[in-house]
Amino acid sequence: MDKEKLQRAAARAVSVLRENLGNFTYQFPGSNSEHMFYPATENTEWTTGFCTGTYWLAYELSGEERFRTSAEVQVESFYNRIKQKTDVDHHDMGFLYTPSCVAAYQLTGNQRAKEAAILAADQLISRFQEKGEFLQAWGALGAEDNYRLIIDCLLNLPLLYWASYVTGDEKYRDIAIRHTRTSIRNLVREDHSTYHTYFFNPRTGEPLRGVTAQGYRDDSAWARGQAWGIYGTALAWRYTKNEVCRELF
């Protein structure tokens, strides 16, 4: 793809987003399409941050205030969501708050966005399990049937590195590094394919078994998870310069 094709593609993407503003400003695209269209939903589930993130990208590309205005409406929704702790008992705080609130703070200096993103980082590290050294993906904390990590979470960790940077508190970064180390040790197979999730013993932290939640079978390489593993270890190398991460991705 040459520069001209890239510019045309970006302009088309901005155009589509512009057409969507009427439907998706005070509501968000749902997490699953219905009849080739994403129905409007409230700010719940794990995908809503992507909508806000695309508006910030469109604002950067076009300079159009309409994108900033819609993004800021949604940032306020994310502020309310984390303050009220609406559907946040899971590992996806990075997916939700990095493209929405971290981006808002970096682009505009929005202090409520900064506060919301730090609260989201606090929510994420509240799921850290010392026994096993990982961020528990889902379910009641410590529950044996959900005492596991998930490869997707590698993409949530930049929120923690950012939080350490803006607060000066190394606890966020430390947990991100420990979770990454545990993920690499247990999720990556000898042939460099990956497990989707990995269970640990809640009493001892001993690694137990790799299983899939959305892939074909436990020993298959779920394509989206494999991609997140590659991207996640690349991001880990960016923040830590750990050569193990570089060798893996």
- Domain co-membership, 111 together with 191: no
CA angle, residues 219, 32, 58, in degrees to nearest 5: 110
Q: Which of 20, 101, 107 is nearest to 59 (CA)?
A: 107
CA distances from 4 to 9, 16, 143 (A): 9, 19, 53
pLDDT on residue 57: 98
Please check whether residues 117 and 149 belong to one and the same domain.
no
Q: Contact, 209 vs 189, CB < 8 A?
A: no
Instruction: Judge if 200 and 233 occupy the same domain.
Output: yes
> CB-hemisphere CA count at 13 Å for 119?
18
Same structural domain for residues 198 and 116?
A: no
Same domain, 169 and 241: yes
**Token digits for 176?**
């991100």
Same domain, 94 and 54: yes
Going from the first residue of the chain to its last (249 residues), give the mean pLDDT of each consecutive group of 10, the final group possibly shorter. 93 97 97 93 96 98 97 98 97 98 98 98 98 97 97 97 98 97 95 96 97 92 93 94 82
* Token duo for residue 48: 């809503």
Give the Cα-Cα-Cα angle 94, 96, 102 (nearest 5 degrees). Answer: 70
What crossing angle do the helices spanning 171-187 and 158-167 adopt, rounded to 10°?
Answer: 160
Residue (of 115, 116, 184, 119) closest to 149 by Cα position: 184
Give me the catalytic one of 2, 92, 218, 219. Answer: 92
246/236 Cα distance (integer angstroms):
8
- CA 205/CA 167 separation, integer angstroms: 30
170/168 Cα distance (integer angstroms)? 6
pLDDT at residue 180, rounded to an integer: 96
Domain end point (choices 94, 126, 158): 126
**Total domain count, the chain:** 2
Residue 152 and residue 52 share a domain: no
Q: Which DSSP symbol is given to 74?
A: H
Residue 173 to residue 175: CA distance in whole angstroms: 5
89 belongs to the catalytic site: no
92 is catalytic: yes
pLDDT at 249: 67
Q: What pLDDT is recorded for position 70?
A: 98
Under 8 Å between Cβ of 166 and 114: yes
Q: Which residues pair with 207 in a beta bridge?
A: 200
Residue 117 belongs to what domain range?
A: 1-126
User: Where a domain ends, among 69, 101, 126?
Assistant: 126
Encoding tokens for residue 108? 């505009």
Considering 89, 111, 126, which residue would you say is the last residue of a domain? 126
96/33 same-domain check:
yes
> Is the same domain home to 60 and 137?
no
Report the alpha-carbon distance of residue 169 to residue 148 in Å, rounded: 26
Same domain, 8 and 107: yes
7 and 115 assigned to the same domain: yes
| 3-state SS record for 173-217 | HHHHHHHHHHHHHHHECCCCCECCEEEECCCCCCEEEEECCCCCC
Task: Quote the pTM value.
Answer: 0.95
Residues 105 and 132 grouped into a single domain? no
> Which one of the listed residues 145, 152, 169, 219 is annotated catalytic?
152
